[in-house]
Amino acid sequence: MGLLADTRKGDTASTPDAPSPRVVRSVARLLRLESSDVRRNAVSAASVIVLLVIWQIIADLRLFEQTLFPEPRGIVQSYHYWWANGGLATGLSISLRRMVMAYALSLAIGIPIGMLIGRFPLADWTLGTVVRLLQPIPGIAWVPLAVVWFTSVSESAKIFIVITGGVFPVLVSTSAGVRTVPPAYLRVARTLGVRGLGLFTWVVFPATIPSIVAGMRISWAFCWRSLMAAEIVLAARTGPGQEGLGGLIAVARQLDQINTAGMVMVTLAAVGLLIDGLVFHAVERRIRRRRGLTE
Amino acid sequence: MRTELRNVSKVYHFDGRADHHDVQALASLSLTIAEGELACIVGPSGCGKSTILNLVAGLERPTTGEVLFGDAPVAGPGPDRVLVFQAYTLFPWLTARENIEFGLRSLRLPADERRRRVDRELARVGLNGFARAYPHELSGGMQQRVAIARALTMEPRALLMDEPFAALDAQTRNLMQEDLLTALGREPKTMIFVTHSVDEALFLADTVTVLSARPARMLDHIRIDLPRPRKRTSRDLNELRERILAQLAEQVRLAERGNVPWGS
């Protein structure tokens, strides 16, 4: 701390050739971790590094058979290998393409049904009941049906499985959001002459957007999980990365390449974190700020 | 446009899990508000004042009796009778300007006419500089100004005010009352203004209707012909205040005795 205190003192003294006080102050702020965002990210990054170090140390102790326990160094080598032969890039792009398609379909199905269920009791008693029945079934349990209904190795089968995982969170969150639209908003709109579909598009939908986005966030995570399940179980095509990231895991299992499995897992975590942080976190923050829901 | 309630009753039916009961908000109430009149309705809380506005606005239907606006019975909500609520009813996802413009979408007006009207109402309520602000960036008083502008932009024949200033602090409230009168000064518009504040009613009203505790009966109907702006503490208003407060106090006393077992 002594060093930092000195930096501050130098700032107030302001010698002629010293860097401008503003720069000094912002550097000091960074080092002292004054901004809560910077501090949080720095601490998070540090904890990941600590985890990696401990992980490598445990691996180096050789407590476990090397083929059973992935280790950071081995994973880095796997990255080199799969990057060089293009398998990782192919797998990533194939998985993401499936993901985007299945996710878009999940939203296109989930949001409208959620709105209906939330708004109309009759839809809740009928459609809602079906939803509540299907919701607890995990995506992986749909595999036999998907294989029979679609050609077993087809894209459709995988996308179907991903949708069964991704459609429910956004659906349930949307319907809950619709139910909690303040009745006062609807009364205001009606007294201003808005009726029927206008109430839906101008009041219910915008009022529900925060719940929809929260549901979209969870749906994304569920889609991601279901996609891996589908790709691992239904891997068919050969060639590096042709069956997506899940296909890479399946290959790793067959070839006993434990570090390749580890590499895919790290990639899954990284992609998940990146999308969640860059897209959803930012969108949610923007909405909350605009609507005055933050401090 | 004359507004008339003819022998109106309103019964709310509560269908709870453990308990079903009816609440009679209005029992054969008759009331007439003349065209261009600023009519204040005061009464103890829960007496059914807001019900009257909801019926005129067409958001609710009378159980028995008739509600007339002009010569026709009220069949539903319409932009000729716009209701302004107590507080927190601006749409938080819209700016002040977009909030004011909200009802105009259903009127299918051309864009320049919409803009003209919104600009006019922004100026009228003194919020020219806040058109792009979101509701949470505005004070409570400013939010209610936007709510009033949102109603006025529809150019309604009657403005229905449901305790619009009740959530504001006393000073802001006085200022809002003055500004409301100034804003509407040159265009006499029928206004039905429900409040539990006797001061507010006396400062604003052409006529004050005093209602009893639930189910509401008319206890008193007072015409105030004093010029505006009125002095809140003038002798005339003080005498009226005393008269109305005595009537209301009696009602509250009766209601409380009816409710609590230890009332003697």
**Tell me: the pLDDT tens digits for A261-293?**
999 999 999 998 899 888 898 898 888 888 888
Q: Which pLDDT tens digit goes with each residue over A217-238? A: 999 999 999 999 898 888 766 6
Q: Is the pLDDT of residue A242 over 50?
A: yes
Would you tell me how many other CB atoms lie within 10 Å of the CB of residue B257? 11
Mean pLDDT (chain A, rounded): 86
Query: Tokens standing for A155?
Result: 């894209």
Residues present in chain A in total:
295
Q: Indicate yes or no: CB of A203 within 8 angstroms of CB of B91.
A: yes
pLDDT band for A5, please (50, 70, 90 cuts): very low
d(Cα A196, Cα A283) in Å, to the nearest integer? 29
* Contact (Cβ atoms closer than 8 angstroms) between residue B147 and residue B90: yes
Q: Is residue A194 within a helix (H) or strand (E), and if so which, with residue range? A: none
pLDDT band for A252, please (50, 70, 90 cuts): confident
Q: B89 vs A4, which has greater pLDDT?
A: B89
pLDDT value for B48: 85
The alpha carbon of residue B148 is apart from the nearest alpha carbon of chain A, in Å, by 12
Q: Indicate yes or no: CB of B103 within 8 angstroms of CB of A202.
A: no
In the three-class reduction of DSSP (H, G, I as helix; E, B as strand; rest coil), residue B217 is classed as coil
Q: Which CATH superfamily is domain B1-80+158-169+188-264 in?
A: P-loop containing nucleotide triphosphate hydrolases (3.40.50.300)
pLDDT value for A8: 43
pLDDT value for B263: 40
The alpha carbon of residue A242 is apart from the nearest alpha carbon of chain B, in Å, by 44
Q: How many CB pairs under 8 A join A and B?
A: 67
Q: Is the pLDDT of residue A86 over 60?
A: yes
Query: Tokens standing for B249?
Result: 């106090």
Q: In degrees to the nearest 10, what's the CA dihedral of A47, A50, A55, A58? A: -140
Q: Indicate yes or no: CB of B150 within 8 angstroms of CB of A192.
A: yes
How far CA A74 is from CA of A61, A255, A270, B118, in Å, comes to 15, 15, 17, 66
Taking the Cβ of residue A138 and every Cβ of chain B, the question of whether any pair is shorter than 8 Å is answered with: no
Q: Which residues contact B170 (CB under 8 A, 6 or more apart)?
A: none
pTM higher than 0.90: no
pLDDT value for A18: 58
* Contact (Cβ atoms closer than 8 angstroms) between residue A150 and residue A160: yes
pLDDT value for A3: 42
d(Cα B4, Cα A181) in Å, to the nearest integer? 33
Of A191, A198, A203, the CB nearest to B77: A191
Q: Indicate yes or no: CB of A193 within 8 angstroms of CB of B135.
A: no
Give residue A100's identity as a one-letter amino acid code: V
Q: A150 vs B119, which has greater pLDDT?
A: B119
Q: B76 vs A241, which has greater pLDDT?
A: B76
pLDDT value for A153: 67
d(Cα B148, Cα B122) in Å, to the nearest integer? 10
Q: Is the pLDDT of residue A54 over 60?
A: yes
pLDDT value for A282: 87
* Mean pLDDT, range A245-258, rounded to an integer: 87
- What are the boundaries of each domain within chain B? 1-80+158-169+188-264, 88-155
pLDDT in tens, chain B (264 residues): 789 999 999 998 887 777 778 888 888 889 999 998 999 999 888 788 899 999 999 999 999 999 999 889 999 998 899 999 988 799 999 999 999 999 998 888 899 999 999 999 999 899 989 999 999 999 999 999 999 999 999 999 999 999 999 989 999 999 999 999 888 876 768 999 999 899 999 999 999 999 988 888 889 999 999 888 899 989 999 999 999 999 988 888 877 776 555 443
Q: Which residues contact B114 (CB under 8 A, 6 or more apart)?
A: B101, B104
**What residue spans of B102-234 are helical by DSSP H?**
111-124, 140-152, 170-184, 198-204
pLDDT value for B90: 95
Query: Tokens standing for B8?
Result: 């109106």
Closest alpha carbon within chain A to B154: A192
Q: Is the pLDDT of residue A186 over 90?
A: yes
Q: Which residues contact A168 (CB under 8 A, 6 or more apart)?
A: A110, A131, A134, A135, A219, A222
d(Cα A246, Cα A227) in Å, to the nearest integer? 8
Residues 4-63 of A with CB under 8 A from B: none
Q: Which of A226, A272, A247, A275 is nearest to A91 (CA)?
A: A247
Query: Tokens standing for B241?
Result: 């205040």
* Mean pLDDT, range A188-201, rounded to an integer: 92
* Mean pLDDT, range A125-134, rounded to an integer: 94
Of A190, A192, A291, the CB nearest to B93: A291
Of A189, A193, A207, the CB nearest to B78: A193
Of A191, A194, A292, the CB nearest to B136: A292
pLDDT band for A14, please (50, 70, 90 cuts): very low
